[in-house]
Amino acid sequence: MKKKRLAALGLCMAMCAAALSGCGGGSGEKTASGDDSSKISGIVSQPTEMTFIYADGDEGMKEAMDTIVERFNDTYADMTIRVERGNGGTYPEFIQTKDSIGEFPDMLEMRDPAVYYRAGKIAPLSDDIRDLFESVEEFGGQAYTAPFSGNNVQGIIYNRKFFQEHNINEAPQTYDDFIQICEDVKAAGMTPLCVGGNDLWHMGFWFNKFYTDEVITENPDFIADMYAGKTKWSDDNARAVFQDMIDLFQYVDTGWASTPDAQLTTMLISNKAAMLFSGTHMFSQIAEADPDFDIGWLPVPDKKGNINLVGGAVPTGWALSAEAAKDENKQKMFDEWCRFFFNDENYKYFCEKISCIPTLKENPDLDVSEPMQLALDALDNADLKVNMWNGQLGDNELPPEFRNYCYKVVTEVIQGTKSVDAAVAELDKEWANETVDFNPVKNKES
């Protein structure tokens, strides 16, 4: 694929600070091991092992993280990271399960920092680690996560060769134009869209798209107003999200509910479907699976023709457990992990591997593909840039269990086992139940 430099965006592209140069963080001593390889020691006062959990449902993320963890373990003589794998369920539920049985990891990919901050489960970042980043999300005046990626830009990834062979529009100006694209793809003999509905979190891509278009554009504080009793899921704009999902899924592969996210790349490159709505992390996976596949990318406009994209700072990232932070060696090891991960060599590899947007004050020089450049350009020019609906903080933070409950209800609506009326009534009831003990708006007022 054609390469372009991320520098074209005007992002700061420089070598990481001297303290971060090379494979290690540069704060230990080199020692010769038995096989004559050079390893770093002396950062911790005794051999230290830390458990580590990250979301490994995405194959590109899994490969990138396994590689960097292996590099870390090969670099240091007296520090070892032990990765604990997921159980096949959703990542938030897995972390909750580990916490409930007393096995909360030493360090982890933290996706719900507000929840675990309030529970006192995570420790604030050291000042020197915090200072690596262009921006961080704060809770109580402190940062608790080291963000490894900016918001993953979402849009349609498509088979450009097929589109061009059949003269299909590659630049829709309205949502109706996009629906016409689906009709044209179908008429040309291919299933328009594939969806990985077997992974519940994957349902969030399209749901968030319609929620942003129908709800956020009218009321960016819809969730805060839900807490205050001013809005309901049965309101017209929220109901429209469910109808949009029903209408769209007539163009989706019929096996979507049993299709895992990991299978979507294969479906795309084997011509089982022409399009996929997902994040830019998919680019590298598709390119690795089939280097000759011609990847196209386009944003899906809303019904008014506006481009609303996921963008901005994110609260997620690497976090240290509060319990582990009590151990001076584990604190030092976590800090060294952050320096190691975000050094020029490793962070460049990570960003290019999963096609993510870098977060440092001084980022490595990245080569990006043509579709990635299109996504970044679209983000620059978007009419609205907003976090995922489940990534909001403060008054617009969701109750911890509500996202997955909502996706399950959405799935039932699309499958026809539940009406829109029944779905929104059920969500209003579930909201009332979940907000008995969780209501940031009322808590702030009290």
Give the DSSP letter of residue 233.
T
Residue with tokens 């429209």: 240
Give helix 402-415 / helix 204-211 axis angle, nearest 10°: 90
Could you tell me if 47 and 108 lie in one domain?
A: yes
pLDDT at residue 23 in the model? 41
Confidence class for position 1, pLDDT limits 50, 70, 90: very low
Within its chain, how far is the Cα of 349 from the centroid?
18
Could you tell me if 227 and 105 lie in one domain?
A: no
Could you tell me if 128 and 198 lie in one domain?
A: no
pLDDT at residue 22 in the model? 37
Compute the mean pLDDT over every residue in the chain, rounded to the nearest whole number.
89
User: What percent of the chain is modeled with pLDDT above 90?
Assistant: 74
Q: 7 in a domain, yes or no? A: no
Task: Please classify residue 110 by burial: count the beta carbons closer than 10 Å to its beta carbon, then call 0-12 exposed, 13-18 middle and 19+ buried.
Answer: buried
Could you tell me if 110 and 248 lie in one domain?
A: no
- The answer to whether 141 touches 299, Cβ cutoff 8 Å, is no
Cα(360)–Cα(313) distance, integer angstroms: 12
- The answer to whether 155 touches 298, Cβ cutoff 8 Å, is yes
pLDDT at residue 29 in the model? 57
Q: Is it the case that residue 436 has pLDDT exceeding 60?
A: yes
Span 227-237, pLDDT tens digits: 999 999 999 99
Span 85-130, pLDDT tens digits: 876 678 888 999 999 999 999 999 998 898 899 899 999 999 999 9
Span 302-328, pLDDT tens digits: 999 999 999 866 788 999 999 999 999
Task: Please classify residue 368 by burial: count the beta carbons closer than 10 Å to its beta carbon, then call 0-12 exposed, 13-18 middle and 19+ buried.
Answer: buried
Q: 63 in a domain, yes or no? A: yes
pLDDT at residue 393 in the model? 82
Q: 89 in a domain, yes or no? A: yes
Per the structure, the complete domain to which residue 120 belongs is given by 25-150+313-369
pLDDT at residue 343 in the model? 97
Span 137-172, pLDDT tens digits: 888 889 999 999 988 899 999 999 999 999 999 999
Q: Distance between the two ends of the chain, CA-based, in angstroms?
A: 56
Q: Span 266-283, mean pLDDT?
A: 96
pLDDT at residue 12 in the model? 35
User: Residue 176: how many CB atoms within 10 A of its CB?
Assistant: 12
Cα(78)–Cα(43) distance, integer angstroms: 8
- Beta partners for residue 417, in sequence order: none
Could you tell me if 179 and 75 lie in one domain?
A: no
> What residues contact residue 406 under an 8 Å CB cut-off, 6+ apart?
207, 427
> What residues contact residue 89 under an 8 Å CB cut-off, 6+ apart?
97
- Across the chain, how many H-helices and E-strands are there? 18, 17
Could you tell me if 145 and 161 lie in one domain?
A: no
Cα(107)–Cα(334) distance, integer angstroms: 7
For the ranges 7-16, 202-211, 329-338, which has the lowest average pLDDT?
7-16
- Beta partners for residue 61, in sequence order: none
Cα(291)–Cα(110) distance, integer angstroms: 33
pTM over 0.85: no
Q: 178 in a domain, yes or no? A: yes
Total number of domains constituting the chain? 2
Could you tell me if 161 and 117 lie in one domain?
A: no
Could you tell me if 119 and 169 lie in one domain?
A: no
Q: 8 in a domain, yes or no? A: no
Could you tell me if 175 and 285 lie in one domain?
A: yes
Q: Span 191-210, mean pLDDT?
A: 97
Task: Please report, for the domain that includes residue 141, its CATH number.
Answer: 3.40.190.10
pLDDT at residue 121 in the model? 97
Confidence class for position 366, pLDDT limits 50, 70, 90: confident
Could you tell me if 190 and 320 lie in one domain?
A: no
Could you tell me if 245 and 282 lie in one domain?
A: yes
Q: Is it the case that residue 191 has pLDDT exceeding 50?
A: yes
pLDDT at residue 305 in the model? 97
pLDDT at residue 88 in the model? 64
Could you tell me if 109 and 169 lie in one domain?
A: no
Q: 5 in a domain, yes or no? A: no
User: Helices (DSSP H) in 166-203: which residue ranges?
Assistant: 175-187
pLDDT at residue 239 in the model? 97
For the ranges 76-80, 295-299, 345-349, 374-378, which has the lowest average pLDDT?
374-378
Q: 297 in a domain, yes or no? A: yes
Q: 10 in a domain, yes or no? A: no
Give the DSSP letter of residue 96.
H
Span 11-54, pLDDT tens digits: 333 333 333 333 445 456 544 334 546 899 999 999 999 999 99
